[in-house]
Structures are given as C-alpha cells and as structure tokens.
Amino acid sequence: MRLAKYLALTGCCSRRAATRLIRDGLVRINDRLATHVDTVSLIHTEAGLQCTDKIYVNGELVSEIEAKAYWLFHKAVGTDSRLLADLSCSLLHLLPASPRLYPIGRLDKDSRGLLILTNDGELTHKLMHPDFGHAKTYHVQVDRPFDDAFLANMAAGVSYKDVTTLPCVMSRLDADKYEITLTQGLNRQIRRMSQALGFKVIDLKRVSIQSLQLGDLPEGCMRPLTSVELTELLASVACTEADA
C-alpha cells in the first residue's frame, strides 16, 4: 500500500496532507526518510491490520489503523476548528481521547453549524478535494435586507480580489436571510461574496454537507452517524467522485 494512503487510513491525516508531509521530509520509515514512492506492507492480526514497519510523522510513532468512526458535531461560534493543544478554544479540547477524530474541512471561528468528525482519511480526502464539488449548504444572515438582484448576483458568481466564484444555488429565507449551497470551498467565501456586494454577514450556519443534515442537534454536542446516514454519505461521495 502506498505510504500516503496508509497514513490516511490510520487517521493521522488526509492523503493530501500525508503527501505534503512526505515531501517536506517529516515522515520516516524506521530509520530513513520516506519518499513519495514508498509503500508499506500490512499483516492481518487479531487487532486488525498492522504495518510491518515503524512509521514516524514529526518524530512521533504513528498508531496502527483504528476502526473507522464517523461523528456529527454542531460547532458553536467561538470554537476554533484547528486542533491545537495550546489553544484554549480549540475543537481538540471537546473531542474524546479515543478514537482520534479530525474535522473534515473547517468552519471559521465566528461561524457555526455542521462538522463531520472522522478518522477516515480516505473520506476526508474525497470530501475536501476541490475536483469533486461536494455540496455544502448554509443559512446566512446579513446586516440589512436585500433585494432579489442580490440573490441573482450571488447565484451567478461574485468577483473579489483575484477570484470569481462558481455559480451556486441561492434562496431567500427572510428579508435579511438566505440559504446558499456551494460546491466550492474558498477561504471565507460566503463572507467575501456578500461583502463584495455591499453586505456584512452577521450569522453563518452550515446546515448540511452532501446528504448529511445538522437537524436539531444542539450546539456543542456530537453524535455518531446512523448506519443510514453513513451509507447515504458514502454513496453520495462515490457518485460525485465517479462524475468528477
């Protein structure tokens, strides 16, 4: 198995992140630096799949492949999605010690709503890769009422700085609230789109990713995905990947 894929399966990081770590000389196999063409050998044991080599990332021994876990989390405003131990508001401090869970993508500290937490590096790679165009839906409130031209302009794509966003799906929720579904994941995209058209976002909540819905899960709470939710999510990712 390719080393980057193995690291993703352990939950250490996504495959893309593993490729960067290998490129930057931060991964070792036993006593030597790893390269992007390295592979690892796996054996079946009572505990599951185990690697015959010792793999180190940033000097730390990588754990064996864990059973896959999939959780839904309702992030509150003020929680930082970065997993930094020295950051008091980090999501890391709200997660269980085991299994090791990582958020798929991020929500800004001043945004709230749905995060998927998992140790499935392959799913993380597929949901974050821009080529697959996975749908994410948000409910957004801006600082004043808007007209239908604003909805049309947002849906058509907005230019700011040196980018023009892809077309998206827009609908009105209230005089100053809208729902937006993106298949693009630019940094602070919704805030910057709105700002380019003269509006300031004052509340941003992600309510769905692909088939997965936030529903009525309270802020700050998490729960495992149901078998139906997981099946539908994996199927939706597979369909989108096949179309990419």
- What is the residue-wise DSSP string for 113-174? EEEEEES-HHHHHHHH-GGG---EEEEEEESS---HHHHHHHHH--EETTEEPPP-EEEEEE
In 57-67, which positions are buried (b, 16+ CB within 10 angstroms) versus exposed (e)? Answer: beeeebeebbe
Stretch (H or E) spanning 51: strand 48-51
Query: What pLDDT is recorded for position 241?
Result: 58
pLDDT digit string, tens, across residues 143-182:
999 999 999 999 999 999 899 999 999 999 999 999 999 9
Six-digit token string for 36: 């992007």
Question: Domains of the chain (ranges plus CATH)?
Answer: 3-61 (3.10.290.10), 70-130+211-243 (3.30.70.580), 135-209 (3.30.70.1560)
Nearest residue to 57 via CA among 18, 86, 83: 18
Integer-rounded Cα radius of gyration of the chain: 20
Compute the distance between CA of residue 28 and CA of residue 61 in angstroms, rounded to an integer: 9
pLDDT (tens, 9 = 90+) of the chain, 244 residues, equals 899 989 988 878 878 889 999 999 999 999 999 999 999 998 877 656 788 999 999 999 998 877 788 999 999 999 999 888 899 999 999 998 877 888 987 899 999 999 999 988 778 878 877 666 789 999 999 999 999 999 999 999 999 989 999 999 999 999 999 999 999 888 899 999 999 999 999 999 999 998 999 999 999 999 999 999 999 988 888 766 555 5
How high is the pLDDT of residue 240?
60
Give the residues across from 41 on adjacent strands: none
Tokens 């990419």 belong to residue: 244
Backbone angles phi, psi at 240, to 5 degrees: -65, -40
**Torsion angle, alpha carbons of 19, 184, 228, 47, to 10:** 10
Tell me, what's the pLDDT at 125? 79
Residue 222, token pair as written in the block: 């998490």
Cβ neighbours of residue 100 closer than 8 Å, sequence gap 6 or more: 11, 63, 66, 119
Angle at 232 between CA 184 and CA 107, to 5 degrees: 35
Parallel, antiparallel, or unpaired: how do β-strands 48-51 and 42-45 relate?
antiparallel
- Is 120 labeled as catalytic in the residue annotation? no
Catalytic residue, chosen from 38, 108, 176, 203, is 108
